[in-house]
Amino acid sequence: MTLQTVQASPKTTLGELNRQMIVILDFGSQYSELIARRIRETKVYSEVLSYRTSAEKLRLLNPQGIIFSGGPNSVYDANAPQCDPEIWQLGIPILGVCYGMQLMVQQLGGEVARAQRGEYGKALLSIDDPTDLLTNVEDPTTMWMSHGDSCIKLPSGFEILAHTSNTPGAAIAHHGQKLYGVQFHPEVVHSIGGIALIRNFVYHICECQPTWTTEAFVEEAIREIRAKVGDKRVLLALSGGVDSSTLGFLLHKAIGDQLTCMFIDQGFMRKYEPENLVQLFGEKFHIKVEHVMARDRFLKQIEGVTDPEVKRKRIGHEFIKVFEEESKRLGPFDYLAQGTLYPDVIESADTNVDPQTGERVAVKIKSHHNVGGLPKDLRFKLVEPLRKLFKDEVRQLGRSIGLPEEIVQRHPFPGPGLAIRIIGEVTAERLKILRNADYIVRQEIKKRGIYNDFWQAFAVLLPIRSVGVMGDQRTYAHPIVLRLISSEDGMTADWSRVPYDLLEAISNRIVNEVKGVNRVAYDITSKPPGTIEWE
């Protein structure tokens, strides 16, 4: 996990933690976020900023180190992204990765050109200087390459640290100025010595201390929530997922009954989930939950609808209407709590600023709920305590503040729920069929203790019927498709190679216990070319 459960000084504040920081300047790499996560795995805070960030802003942030990410461009292109040249004068250690290394070479007087032969995939790295950046990195080691350009002339004062058969300067350094460059990607799992290299940069070169911990974060987050909210009321739209549940627990620790959780039950959740959620929050942990029963009106909104995008939009619009009605009934509220995570902060600009106070205000419900935007006249100030965290850090946080493991490890679940796991029209009958089949899938993998081995594991109902035989009777019923997926982050995914006896057990139970199903299939499509969900 990223946030580590270790004891921190009781006087440590989040501001002090952030002084121990590594900044990643993003030049368009698909791996920039991954670099930030790898830094946090060393228990040091990291942030991703645009490559346009000025040297003056970096001076004010005062990071311990800076990492230039990779990127899709060539540094000699006319419109290639460039950094503020004053950054080189800050005296802060810098590590350039792939494009970042090439930019370092070019701006400091070296030369970059198209390589005679590109280098992609795994490459054997031979170490020439096993000090500083490459201390304790095995020689040789495997690193992941992805470049078509090469540094053909190094700037003055630089020397080669490592090479491959195709790239003479695969790692370089100016030791005196603490400037380092690597042509490979140490942040990806394919780079065997990558984590050791990152640790060397963070601890040895940047001299950071491992102070980014769960305890310190919780303590300071509670102080910040109390200072911001005061005695005002806060509304949280509770979905039952990891993010909103963790946020609910954290807010309750900070402000108690000033928090109201609104759970809008649209009828598309899995079997027993609404009841379990209300019982867990309201009865067991005494967190105020308003259970808004709205199943009939949601089902009516998508009656006869087969297009998945129309389904999503109608469910989203209805969610907004219900949210608006109920927030006015339960209110007034000054603050809306949202489970915004750090990837949302990096990727999204769905925010607004109150011109009088300068505070962020909500104009959208969090995008992963797929519910569209709130009405512009329904304005709240935002409370977003999780906005510095990655998903794995949220799970660790939830676990540390007492969130039950069944929620901490809950598989990702789409905002529209089972409505988009029923292909075609959604009816009450089809919802019942899918809910019962899906429950069997979860029961069987939990019984074997392998629930956490999957990114997601669920059932899909197809809007067709096929002939079958049960007893001596002919049947004409629906097929269920099983989708069991392995993934690290959901961006790419592979179908899970599960034992045949597990598939057999699930199939037998569904066909025998779920009325309306007589056939079970297993989806063996990876992402890409498929998606994890069917709609």
CB 81 within 8 A of CB 156: no
Q: State the catalytic residue, choosing from 147, 163, 174, 185.
A: 185
Question: What does each C-alpha distance from 41 to 84, 417, 516 come to in angstroms?
Answer: 29, 32, 48
Cα gap 249→280, rounded to integer Å: 11
Q: Which of 33, 187, 220, 444 is catalytic?
A: 187
Handedness of CA 498, 499, 503, 506 (dihedral sign): negative
Burial class (CB in 10 A: 0-12, 13-18, 19+), 160: middle
What are the backbone angles phi and psi of residue 174, rounded to the nearest 5°?
-115, 95
Question: Would you state the structure tokens that stand for residue 516, as one six-digit string?
Answer: 């309306």
- Cβ atoms of 75 and 149 closer than 8 Å: yes
| Residue 98 annotated among the catalytic residues of the structure | yes
Report the 3 state secondary structure along 466-488: EEEEECCEEEEEEEEEEEEEECC
Instruction: Yes or no: say if 18 and 46 are a contact pair by the CB < 8 Å rule.
Output: no
Smallest Cα–Cα separation from 145: which of 127, 171, 108?
171
- Residue 187 annotated among the catalytic residues of the structure: yes
Return the residue matching tokens 């499509």. Answer: 525
Complete DSSP assignment for 298-330: HHHHTTT---HHHHHHHHHHHHHHHHHHHHHHH
Query: Partners of 144 in the beta sheet?
Result: 122
Active site residues: 98, 185, 187
